Amino acid sequence: MSMTKIDLSTYSFDAMVFDVDGTLVRSAPTHFKAFSLALEDQNAAMSEVWYQQRLGLSRIELLTAFNEAYGGSIDIARAVTDSETYYLSHIHEVTEIATVASIVRREASNYPLSVASSGQRRSVLAALGGVGLLPFFEYVLTADDVSNCKPDPEIYITAAARFGLPASRCLVFEDSDEGVMAATAAGSPVVDVRAHS
């Protein structure tokens, strides 16, 4: 997916907060493979279309929704653990999304940057480390750091508080409906990167 340049001049902000999966890194195919392998171990199968429609959900939320939709027969805790293990074993397949990653590299010396992801900490750190983006962020917030995942605004309110700023001064980069809803509810200006693809 090639993306057009993102013009930041129309936004007023003092810090930047980035989602990870689908925003900074192209990881959906690897996540889908990991979910498929984990569910296959329990004699279940997830369609790619079903998965693509729920890209903004956390791992636990996604597998819980799958379980509810398809009969409630999987061990969710096991599927969460197994899918994360499979994902980490294929982390070399995850690539950066250059247009957004270039903003991180260019602006890290001009603004404080953080991550706010619905992913689990180990997976998020592995993905960012794998593409060389991890050192640019002052904070990395994940699903492990909040009580409520996107579309709840908690993670964006927390990210802003870490900078000592109101959320309205933190420019958010997102790629999912849930993420845009969360950032908007927090009061943050949002760049929906899907508009630039």
Q: What is the pTM of this model?
A: 0.90
pLDDT value at residue 57: 83
Q: Same domain, yes or no, for 40 and 104?
A: no
Q: Same domain, yes or no, for 64 and 127?
A: no
Closest by alpha carbon to 19, among 187, 183, 195, 173? 173
How far CA 17 is from CA of 10, 76, 106, 129, 145, in Å, comes to 17, 30, 14, 17, 15
- Answer for the pair 175, 192: CB distance below 8 angstroms, yes or no: yes
- Condensed to tens digits (0 to 9), the pLDDT of residues 1-21 reads 456 689 999 999 999 999 999
Residue type for 6, please? I
pLDDT value at residue 1: 45
Q: Same domain, yes or no, for 19 and 41?
A: no
Q: Rounded CA gap, 179 and 182, in Å? A: 5
Half-sphere exposure of 87 (CA within 13 A, CB side): 28
Last residue within a domain, chosen from 40, 75, 92: 92
pLDDT value at residue 104: 98
| DSSP assigned state of 25 | E
- Condensed to tens digits (0 to 9), the pLDDT of residues 45-91 reads 999 999 999 887 888 999 999 999 988 899 999 999 999 999 999 99
- Condensed to tens digits (0 to 9), the pLDDT of residues 131-189 reads 999 999 999 999 999 999 999 999 999 999 999 999 999 999 999 999 999 999 999 99
Q: Same domain, yes or no, for 66 and 33?
A: yes
Q: Which residues form the domain of 87? A: 28-92
Q: Same domain, yes or no, for 125 and 167?
A: yes
